[in-house]
A and B are shown apart, each in its own frame.
Chain A
Amino acid sequence: MSDAAASKPGFWTSLANPTRFMGLSASMLPWLWAIAGVLTIGGLAWAWNAPQDYQQGVTVRIMYIHVPAAWLAMFAYAVMAASALGTLIWRHPLADVSIRAAAPIGAAFTLICLITGSLWGRPMWGTWWVWDARLTSVFVLMLMYLGIIALQRAMDDPAKAARPVAILVLVGSVNIPIIKFSVDIWNTLHQPASVIRFDGPTIHPTMLWPLLVTAIGFMGLFAAMHMLAMRNEIRRRRAAALRRAGARGPSAAPATAVLEG
């Protein structure tokens, strides 16, 4: 490593110092919550005033929660996959914290997506659940989130769990493109993509804009919750380290406990 690179670390490298991350996240968090709250509530209120579908009636409004939740379920996994790369390649200490914080949130969004989808499917398709390609692949995503959480819980030492979990996350990321394109490859009951496609969205602007605003609001919600969970995880690790130091004897424990960064 050259002197120039050593003297001027990049943005991501400087975040490896947990204290700096805690300071930055503490100042960013209120803004994130505000953006997320305004956009989510505003988007949902706008969606409630958007025109009803001529066939589906009022049930089309389930879409404004279902579709952003589905995007976020995949986005959370993408964040985890990027963090897994960070763990394996650069051994970034916060990357593992990020995976650990993102997994339950991603699982929650996947669950919201599955539940709202099945509530929407009941009046539209006449059934709560079908074993169609999209539904099955999202269900598999849910199982994968749960498997990752189970693996994290199975190991006591988070430093030891970091690499196996990162490998599992990366292997599982094979599933994400399958989910994304499942509706285009297998033409089944779930409708094909209508917002993100090459020839532009096929959904009417009066419905598209509230949907996009809600989606960005959900994205902010994810970012805020993710950051909060990361801060909690860092505090949890500090507390565990202090407890270990305390168990070694009073002389080993630091004189002042530093839980806040």
Chain B
Amino acid sequence: MIALILRDVKLGVRAGGGALIGILFYLAVVTVAPFAMGPDLNLLARIGPAILWTGALLASLLGLERLFQIDHEDGALDLLVIARHETPLALTVFAKCVAHWLVTGLPLVLVTPLLGLLLNMDATAIGATALTLLVGTPAITFIGAAGAAVAVSLPRGGLLVSVIILPFTIPVLIFGVMATLGAVETFAPFLQPFTFLAALTLFFAVLGPFAAALALKGLQD
């Protein structure tokens, strides 16, 4: 399992620069926002967390297609499915999700402080956004694994994955932005939405790999 994570991380970083595209997309979404809303720094500071969360969500959705696609093309996915009597398939999918998140999700969290500075957010808001993204983006990857597995055999599944996964990510977005707001404003609670966000991540960490494993098994017959 560790070996699988290491292999996927290496492949993700080296081959084709998938991680870099995610970050660039995130950067593009965040830079487009001030152009669309005008360069009012106070306004940007207030809605900054929402912009960052939307950008991170879209960037995560964009990269989901790569989760199984490359392995499916070169046949490695079939081997992983066949080996399910030694390692349960759900565990394999979980490992792949962790690797995928390390390559695409974690960089998003790491560049968030920089983008927060561009949006004139103060230190608490930046810290809160990075923290909620750190807790929340794995949920998107885990539930996205189910969508990616369902669409992996389709010729042009990339956009379809985003469309069918988007409804499931809305609660993650809601609680993530709510927790960030709670950290910044005094009237809103922080801990309650934050624990909800963590619960969503844990819940999807179980549900997503199981559903994805079921879909991948169905692919074989």
Say how far A232's CB is from chain B's closest CB, in angstroms. 25
Question: Secondary structure at chain A's binding surface: helix, strand, loop or mixed?
Answer: helix
> A149 to B164, alpha carbons, bound, how many Å?
10
Q: Is the CB of A154 within 8 A of B211?
A: no
Q: Is the CB of B163 within 8 A of A147?
A: yes
Q: Is the CB of B150 within 8 A of A167?
A: yes
Within 8 A of B (CB), among A126-156: 136, 140, 143-144, 146-148, 150-151, 154-155
Q: Which of A144, A154, A171, A174 contacts B154 (CB 8 A)?
A: A154
Q: Is the CB of A175 within 8 A of B214?
A: no
Asked if A170 is at the interface (CB within 8 A of a chain B CB), the reply is yes
Asked if A201 is at the interface (CB within 8 A of a chain B CB), the reply is no
Interface centre among B157, B163, B167 (most CB of A within 10 A): B167
Q: Is the CB of A164 within 8 A of B218?
A: yes
Q: Is the CB of A150 within 8 A of B164?
A: yes
Within 8 A of A (CB), among B135-149: 143, 146-147, 149
Q: How large is the interface on B (under 10, 10 to 19, 20 to 34, 35 or more residues)?
A: 20 to 34
Interface centre among A140, A164, A167 (most CB of B within 10 A): A164
Asked if A86 is at the interface (CB within 8 A of a chain B CB), the reply is no
Residues of chain A lying within 8 A (CB to CB) of residue B215 = 163-164, 167
Residues of chain A lying within 8 A (CB to CB) of residue B147 = 168
Asked if B51 is at the interface (CB within 8 A of a chain A CB), the reply is no
Say how far A196's CB is from chain B's closest CB, in angstroms. 24
Chain B's closest residue to A151 (CB) is B164
Asked if A88 is at the interface (CB within 8 A of a chain B CB), the reply is yes
Q: Which 7 A-B pairs have the closest CB atoms?
A: A163-B218, A147-B164, A164-B150, A143-B167, A140-B167, A144-B167, A167-B215
